Amino acid sequence: MSCCECKGTEDTGQGSILYSILNRGARCPQGRAETPAAHQLCPCASKRKLVAIRAPQLVFKAASEVLVKTFRFVKNVPCFRGLPAEDQLRLVRNSWAPLLVLGLVQDSVDFDTVETQQPSLLHRILTHDKERQQRSAAEIQDPGVPVGDVEGIKMFLVKCRGLRISVKEYAFLKGAILFTSATELECRDYIQALQREAERALYEHVRTVYRGNAGRFGKLRVVLNTLRSMDREAVAGLFFRPVTGRSSIDEHVLAMFFER
């Protein structure tokens, strides 16, 4: 069975790694170079290729500072302070990742990545890589982040910076993200109303300030929807896990939330 999730027209056996290696000579007549198509990656390659932050300690520090700064803003929102403690913690757990990414845009934090170097599945099978098996569980569990997720985050940062989002727009966006409702909230209806109010305030601000730019609110809505669909595990794996390892991301985030 092939490890690839893509569904092609070729036979499953012919799509395997071992089959491709053993039959490479048969497919490429002697003296003829392989065409670029022979090396073309399948559509799910972006899920298999992993990358990591090039300077994890520096980026970890920058991301942590951004999140602490964002939490200070959050704790100064009167409507948030008035919520039950459990609802506050649930909202923080639910929204920290998109809030962090938005904060990276606002504070102009950049980062570079490098592809992680790991033995392939075939290499481990053929060489019985015992050293690999003896590595710590943290190394095996967190080898990197899928390159597709990282490219999506980077592209999002670039597009947002091109919008030149104002301080007030950042505030309204943060409010709309923070008050994104979840089923287990005690004050769910009230929090949903706060979310709608934040979005309405954003709309009124854009309508007043950007009278000649009817499409700006639509672009900011796209920003908001993209942030809400942000993969929390990808954000954690990219910015925090290279330093925190196997420790709980929730505990790390809440420690920053309670920091004074």
- Read off the pLDDT of residues 101-153 as tens digits, 9 standing for 90 and up: 999 999 999 999 998 865 555 655 666 555 545 544 444 445 689 999 999 99
Structure tokens at 12: 């499953």
Structure tokens at 128: 């019985």
Structure tokens at 150: 């990282």
CA distance 241 to 61: 12
Note whether 113 and 149 are within 8 A (CB): no
The matching CATH number, chosen from 1.20.1580.10, 3.40.50.1370, 1.10.565.10, 3.30.930.10, for 46-258 is 1.10.565.10
pLDDT in tens, 86-101: 999 999 999 999 999 9
Q: Ranked by mean pLDDT, which of 3-12, 27-36, 59-68 comes out on top?
A: 59-68
153 or 17, which is more confident = 153
pTM for the full model? 0.75
| pLDDT band at 254; cut points 50, 70, 90 | very high
- 195-228 burial, b at 16+ Cβ within 10 Å, e below that, comes to beebbeebeebbeeeeeeeeebbebbeebbebbe
pLDDT score for 138: 42
CA distance 146 to 234: 8
- Asked if the model's pLDDT at residue 255 lies above 80, the reply is yes
E strands, the chain, in order? 50-53, 113-115, 145-146
pLDDT score for 171: 97
pLDDT score for 141: 47
DSSP summary character for residue 40: P
